[in-house]
Chains A and B, each alone.
Chain A
Amino acid sequence: MASNQEQGGSGRHAGGGNGGRNAAARRAPEWADGLKQLYDSVVEEDLPDSFKDLLDRLDGSDPALSSNDNGAPPQSPDGRGTR
């Protein structure tokens, strides 16, 4: 049992020589940056026209009319009512 702890002298030397997991863990910061790069590269892309079109179309659609399953009263927000 205690025989596993030979080189105990310098104390907090977590997982010295045995590669595997510890080596992998120490690599994390490097790819962690890559994860942000992947994300940011998409954020910085120009928005395709299809998104602009969709945003334009949203104005024409009344959310109160398009979602009648959410318990919102059918009355239109500007009080004009329905015909």
Chain B
Amino acid sequence: MGDADRGDKSPGNSLTASDKADFKRELTGVVPHLRAFARGLCGRPDMADDLVQETMLKAWAAQDRFEPGTSMRAWTFVILRNAYLTDMRRNRFRGEYDEGVAERILTAPAGQEEPIHLSDLHRALLTLPAERREALLLVGAGGFSYEEAAQICGCAVGTIKSRVGRARAALSEMLASGNIPQRSTDDDIAHSAILEELDMVAAGNGVSSRP
């Protein structure tokens, strides 16, 4: 007695070749999404791709912890965001902006004088604090529910809702006013320019009413 389990596939810690093949197929399927999420988070395509490759290696190494039948996209996004936040703390990413999208322009809806450039949107996105940016990306671009996004970020649903709300408000404000910092390298300048302007408005000297 006692050796009855010997030949059984034991789910959990040992993986058969077909488990690995399944895992690899699913991982391959989410790579484009990992790239899109990473690009939104860190702006620079080359850094984003590095981040995705790091994520793929980590996911592969941890594949025995993936539960088949659950969302590979959500599972790998957790790995990616953790890698991103770790790199952020090491100051590897400074929310740099992808020149490649500068050419693309959003079609202006009827009655809208000024089209919004995708490049403006992307730059505005990169000025948001990381946790608001990722919340908005997950819900607004990745199509995750608030509940799924909360699981990915390891926080309460209410927290995600509030981050998304603040991110939306900040982007709307920036896009409506046109006050979007130009480049990461100019961030400080742009930022202090905005603050100066606010100071003047607060002091009753709106920009347009200056003599």
Chain A residues with a Cβ under 8 A of chain B: 21, 23-25, 27-28, 30-45, 47-48, 50-51, 54-55, 58-59, 61, 63-64, 66-67, 70, 72-73, 75, 77-78
- Contacting A42 at CB < 8 Å: which of B15, B35, B121? B35
B202 CB → nearest A CB, Å? 14
Q: CB-CB < 8 A to A47: which residues of B?
A: 31-32
- Contacting A32 at CB < 8 Å: which of B19, B57, B140? B140
Range for the number of chain B residues in contact with chain A: 35 or more
How would residues 192 to 210 of chain B score, 1 for a CB under 8 Å from any chain A CB and 0 otherwise? 0000000000000000000
B22 CB → nearest A CB, Å? 13
Output the residue of B116, B140, B169 with the most chain A CB within 10 A: B140
Question: Given A34-B106, A38-B40, A38-B101 in contact, is the A45-B32 Cβ separation under 8 Å?
Answer: yes
A76 CB → nearest B CB, Å? 8
- Does B154 reach chain A (CB closer than 8 Å)? no
Contact B15 A77 (CB under 8 A): yes
**A25 vs B175: C-alpha distance in the bound complex, in angstroms?**
10
**A32 vs B172: C-alpha distance in the bound complex, in angstroms?**
10
Output the residue of A25, A38, A43 with the most chain B CB within 10 A: A38
Which of chain B's residues 34-69 have a Cβ closer than 8 Å to chain A?
A: 35-37, 39-40, 49, 52-53, 56-57, 60-65
Contact A78 B64 (CB under 8 A): no
B138 CB → nearest A CB, Å? 10
How would residues 1 to 38 of chain B score, 1 for a CB under 8 Å from any chain A CB and 0 otherwise? 00000000000011111011000100110011101110
